[in-house]
Structure 1
């Protein structure tokens, strides 16, 4: 797929060359919450002072761990999905044999059970229960004193007879997650009698937790199951239930040179919960120092503070730790604040007469007043140079599951463990051996390989592999493809139709606040089509123009750009695409994104080579410090490209 550069500029200033992200300290990102406050407004020392007994609590917990199994600490510090690590190779192999026996004996009445051993520490028991149920949703885990036993879950067996086995697995993972207000939708079912059976099963078995409802979409009827919001006076659960009362703890995470999902995977292992128990408002850069809000489920503030020193060893710090009543939703923020340093400034024209001060002032003022093209930045497409996320997303939209998995495992250059594991899988197709090579922190790859080992690498196995990833991870690849198309559409719109709104363009007809929310998936967006009279009278400005992200619920422009969208999708084999990937339970309604974005509260200072003398980073060239705010889903790197008129050196 051709990858056009972010080539359209709004201003015509000269710009300059420079280097960003020379160190993480040169790129600092701080989330701005929905109240307009920076999320790092307090520090971890303040929080620790509020918990003077933390050290003694930690000491008691360490003593407790020492009394349990010898490798318990290792378990807490590994990928908590991996049963080979949690149970040990011998017990995990027994469990694999046991699950095969359960499947072979399907339909028999005699119950068979397997003991997984004793786990004196309750947090380790929680790890085992959740990991076993996640990997094998058709199993039931029970505790007798400290011993954990597994057996076939009769409820799973009943649901699998009413729906597909894959749907039953996804449904039970959804029930286990217990996120209030979340929903699960079964595949369309045209049989009313059959739907009634599913309604009755869910209501009888999970009626206190969920509510069910049928809805019709495009003449097909489906059942949606929604978890009820938490009661103000929750009752204690049954004695044999392994789930504790749900609690949520909010905190601010400071990380350095770590991907958000990598940081979550490590924290989950340390705390003995699943990565899906963490919620956040947005993904943050890896090559940076970032501050972001997070909420973790089932962990108290005290237990989170117990692990401060372990987090710090991996370049993470936590602050503003406090109890909250609900998880954090993706996109629940106003934007991000950036503190950046651009080093080694040089003019584009070596023989130019204007100095760096004049070049910088002209560039910053232009972007402050006119903004920049609101492209999706390179982070949206993943860090890979051989295969990027949008290519994987395209294959998923075409439902070419085996091709998408091969792209997913395409290695980059280098001989690190993850690339060796990927090469081994593509060369041999042996998922089990590749899993042994894959580093523990590569959560996505390990989940996929475990599923491929269990179900094979054919079409059905690849579907199971994708379904083993959380929904947010699966849909990321589809959104990445749609973002690539949006970037190309922005280029085409400006190159062919110019820098003023024209007839057929789409503009936002709601409030300014609503415009900032148009990158969200809206059911009834307030979109207006520019008329010829409005074009002539210049009723609208370019910063009011919005472009659609492809999807099944968006309106396309009614001019050359609209035809371009249809031709572009057809070129990729998506001419008849409904933007639903039913086997993976993915739906892309589409959304709208402003063509232009503007930095707010922008300030800058230039340090000349003379002023930098004696500094360790002195290079003989000026450096520029920049600070500004951007709305959510806008990219600082794209803003810098407009300021500098240069491809960024990193």
Structure 2
């Protein structure tokens, strides 16, 4: 078995043929990828590709955009965007509810709560007082209120008269105590403004706006923004603006309350399936463009798998909330970005990751030449190589594109930082500039050197959707641990989890090299193989596969072949080999500080159960053809029928066609054929 060192570590080959040199991806048309759907059809055929998963249902989303503009508070007479503290104080509610605590609680309880608040504020605002004195006035019971409407009226009235108090219900009893959020805000703005702001929050008038007094201290405004976003981010959105006198103030707008949707409404959700042809674009980058043009979120797009960047690719997609007609109307704008959409049709549900059989590849390898000087035996070298891979397959490594080719910091390094829950380091790695002075590198370098997310955002090209989302969030929430966590949460789930998967893929690559180096080609005791039920190696499988550890007797009798061996991709639901390879996994994770890792990052809503990946992959329907043009070569063939364009004169080129299962890499298959990096 041949082994070589490359940029991704030690690389093992499964066959012993010599191989040859050649180049791929000179042009994007040299590398064409076509998705094979779950019915076994290539998605470029509109008559057979349906792009939907009819046997899979999606749970109804509980939140949808509510109707905008003319919602009024059913309790009060104010209309949207008309909230002012003075008007709210003087104008009574229409339903007869009162803010007069002497009427609601009685005169005695009203006087008691006033004495409580005086003592509370004296002890809270005076650090010289003893803790014991403060505890005596820490909480006050207002009594029991069996009627639900009466309790609601008490809460509203107390909060209106004493915004610095927090009301708590325990069964039917209502108790009050100091509100720590009010205390925090009153340390940033005046106490009067804090009271008015909390009345504004309690009024809950959709789309209403509250404006703080002008503040020329940017650092101070940033602190106010961060507090409001952290504590009330689900209720309000904040923004600084400058008036005609060039004074800057913070405005706070109350968000619309999402409208809960019935099951009947859910069934009417609009989904449109289509085929996406893209060129020289990452799948996630293409989705960002599509979302921006259509005015929806990237998370509204679903797909079965991610496709190569430097290639022409065809794949099925489904978008939510967009009709086929809307997609057709934007066709011209899509084409400007290197995308062509076709086969628009309404479907009943989204796509799911892993809902495909694999991919078909049409590759052109240019300028073939032997590893040695003698070119006379090149045809036989190619034939031997292709036949070996057709029969024996190749080691199922993850390809370099899994980790980010040409990047200063590869994706698996970012994933490791996320698994360690070191959000600040993960952000700095993500925004580490590449070599050169391209606009993206300039923007990243500026952020790393200055920490100024706003200025870096202005420098970042509009095409870099992920980087812009990150920088926008860092500008809003800051560059500390909490701000960096929020920055990661600004990315769609599929983008966040990609980096964790990249780290686990790196570990798997190293594990398979270690397994082949130490245990060889034969199946050994403790190796893992699939049970009788089979199952898929990647996400989207219908049920967990049965994994069996090979026994000593099974090793002795040769019950299994190397093609049946699987290795675990790290996660919280996998078992590891019951031999030296299992020990290697534990040592490898320990070196990275993950010995106790549960492969969950709760703050980012990420969970990695792990899965099992076959050690070997076998291409299907593999065929090739050598073509030459002019110059008296041994094969005088015309290129008029070549699907991949004109070939270089006087040099042999190879057209290679094959199918691979999902998550297998054509570049890895080609490397086994050629015994070098293509």
Q: Same fold judged by TM-score > 0.5?
A: yes
Aligned counterpart in structure 2 of residue 573 of structure 1, from 570, 574, 593: 593
Shift of 1:618: 1.9
Residue 497 of structure 1 pairs with residue 519 of structure 2: yes
Question: How far apart, in 2, do the equivalents of 1:584 and 1:613 lie?
Answer: 56
Shift of 1:359: 1.0
Indicate if the aligned counterparts of 1:602 and 1:628 stay in contact, CA closer than 8 A: yes
Shift of 1:519: 5.5
Shift in CA distance, 613/23, structure 1 to aligned 2, threshold 3 Å: same
Aligned partner of 1:258 in structure 2 is 281
Indicate if the aligned counterparts of 1:519 and 1:633 stay in contact, CA closer than 8 A: no
Question: How far apart, in 2, do the equivalents of 1:643 and 1:459 lie?
Answer: 47
Shift of 1:107: 3.0
Residue 535 of structure 1 pairs with residue 539 of structure 2: no
Question: How far apart, in 1, do the equivalents of 2:583 and 2:195 lie?
Answer: 54
Residue 389 of structure 1 pairs with residue 429 of structure 2: no
Shift in CA distance, 522/423, structure 1 to aligned 2, threshold 3 Å: farther
Residue 508 of structure 1 pairs with residue 510 of structure 2: no
Aligned partner of 1:602 in structure 2 is 622
Shift of 1:264: 1.4
Secondary structure of 1:7's aligned partner: strand
Question: How far apart, in 1, do the equivalents of 2:620 and 2:194 lie?
Answer: 59
Shift in CA distance, 565/104, structure 1 to aligned 2, threshold 3 Å: farther
Residue 646 of structure 1 pairs with residue 676 of structure 2: yes
Shift of 1:256: 0.9
Residue 138 of structure 1 pairs with residue 142 of structure 2: no
Question: How far apart, in 2, do the equivalents of 1:235 and 1:457 lie?
Answer: 39
Question: What is the alpha-carbon root mean square deviation over aligned residues?
Answer: 2.8
Question: How far apart, in 2, do the equivalents of 1:320 and 1:38 lie?
Answer: 13
Shift in CA distance, 595/105, structure 1 to aligned 2, threshold 3 Å: farther
Question: How far apart, in 1, do the equivalents of 2:542 and 2:567 lie?
Answer: 14
Aligned counterpart in structure 1 of residue 305 of structure 2, from 256, 261, 282: 282
Indicate if the aligned counterparts of 2:415 and 2:502 stay in contact, CA closer than 8 A: yes
Shift of 1:616: 5.4
Aligned counterpart in structure 2 of residue 107 of structure 1, from 198, 213, 231: 198
Aligned partner of 2:350 in structure 1 is 327
Shift of 1:475: 0.9
Aligned partner of 1:152 in structure 2 is 254
Question: How far apart, in 1, do the equivalents of 2:533 and 2:422 lie?
Answer: 41
Indicate if the aligned counterparts of 2:29 and 2:311 stay in contact, CA closer than 8 A: yes
Shift in CA distance, 435/386, structure 1 to aligned 2, threshold 3 Å: same
Any unmatched runs of 5+ in structure 2?
1-5, 48-187, 211-228, 239-250, 631-635, 640-644
Shift in CA distance, 264/103, structure 1 to aligned 2, threshold 3 Å: farther
Aligned partner of 2:247 in structure 1 is none
Task: Within 5 Å, give how 1:165-176 maps onto structure 2.
Answer: none
Name the larger-Rg structure: 2
Task: Within 5 Å, give how 1:175-214 maps onto structure 2.
Answer: 206=260
Count of residues in Structure 1 that have an aligned counterpart in Structure 2: 485
Alignment deviations for residues 578-624 of structure 1 (CA, whole Å, 9 cap, x no partner): 11112212111111000000000111100135437999542532100
Aligned partner of 1:398 in structure 2 is 420
Shift of 1:383: 3.0
Indicate if the aligned counterparts of 2:538 and 2:663 stay in contact, CA closer than 8 A: no
Secondary structure of 1:234's aligned partner: helix
Shift in CA distance, 275/502, structure 1 to aligned 2, threshold 3 Å: same
Aligned partner of 2:336 in structure 1 is 313
Question: How far apart, in 2, do the equivalents of 1:623 and 1:386 lie?
Answer: 33
Alignment deviations for residues 61-108 of structure 1 (CA, whole Å, 9 cap, x no partner): xxxxxxxxxxxxxxxxxxxxxxxxxxxxxxxxxxxxxxx999996532
Question: How far apart, in 1, do the equivalents of 2:430 and 2:237 lie?
Answer: 32
Indicate if the aligned counterparts of 2:366 and 2:648 stay in contact, CA closer than 8 A: no
Task: Within 5 Å, give how 1:299-378 maps onto structure 2.
Answer: 299-351=322-374, 354=377, 356-378=378-400
Question: How far apart, in 1, do the equivalents of 2:426 and 2:541 lie?
Answer: 25
Alignment deviations for residues 100-138 of structure 1 (CA, whole Å, 9 cap, x no partner): 9999965323558249xxxxxxxxxxxxxxxx9xx9643
Indicate if the aligned counterparts of 1:265 and 1:275 stay in contact, CA closer than 8 A: yes
Question: How far apart, in 1, do the equivalents of 2:666 and 2:28 lie?
Answer: 15
Shift of 1:625: 0.1
Aligned counterpart in structure 2 of residue 630 of structure 1, from 646, 655, 660: 660
Question: How far apart, in 1, do the equivalents of 2:33 and 2:9 lie?
Answer: 24
Secondary structure of 1:28's aligned partner: strand
Alignment deviations for residues 130-183 of structure 1 (CA, whole Å, 9 cap, x no partner): xx9xx9643389xxxxxxx9832486xxxxxxxxxxxxxxxxxxxx7xxxxxxx
Question: How far apart, in 2, do the equivalents of 1:337 and 1:518 lie?
Answer: 18
User: With structure 2 as the length reference, what TM-score do the two structures score?
Assistant: 0.67
Question: How far apart, in 2, do the equivalents of 1:634 and 1:250 lie?
Answer: 25
Secondary structure of 1:35's aligned partner: coil
Shift of 1:277: 1.1
Indicate if the aligned counterparts of 1:30 and 1:336 stay in contact, CA closer than 8 A: yes
Aligned partner of 2:473 in structure 1 is 451
Residue 28 of structure 1 pairs with residue 123 of structure 2: no
Residue 234 of structure 1 pairs with residue 261 of structure 2: no
Question: How far apart, in 2, do the equivalents of 1:326 and 1:150 lie?
Answer: 37
Aligned partner of 2:20 in structure 1 is 16
Indicate if the aligned counterparts of 1:486 and 1:549 stay in contact, CA closer than 8 A: yes
Question: How far apart, in 2, do the equivalents of 1:234 and 1:585 lie?
Answer: 27
Indicate if the aligned counterparts of 1:548 and 1:593 stay in contact, CA closer than 8 A: yes
Indicate if the aligned counterparts of 2:647 and 2:653 stay in contact, CA closer than 8 A: no
Shift of 1:520: 5.2
Indicate if the aligned counterparts of 1:10 and 1:372 stay in contact, CA closer than 8 A: yes
Residue 412 of structure 1 pairs with residue 434 of structure 2: yes
Aligned partner of 2:321 in structure 1 is 298
Aligned partner of 2:168 in structure 1 is none
Residue 525 of structure 1 pairs with residue 545 of structure 2: yes
Secondary structure of 1:255's aligned partner: strand
Shift of 1:511: 3.6
Alignment deviations for residues 430-466 of structure 1 (CA, whole Å, 9 cap, x no partner): 0111111111221111111111111110111111111
Secondary structure of 1:107's aligned partner: helix
Shift in CA distance, 150/297, structure 1 to aligned 2, threshold 3 Å: farther
Indicate if the aligned counterparts of 1:114 and 1:151 stay in contact, CA closer than 8 A: yes
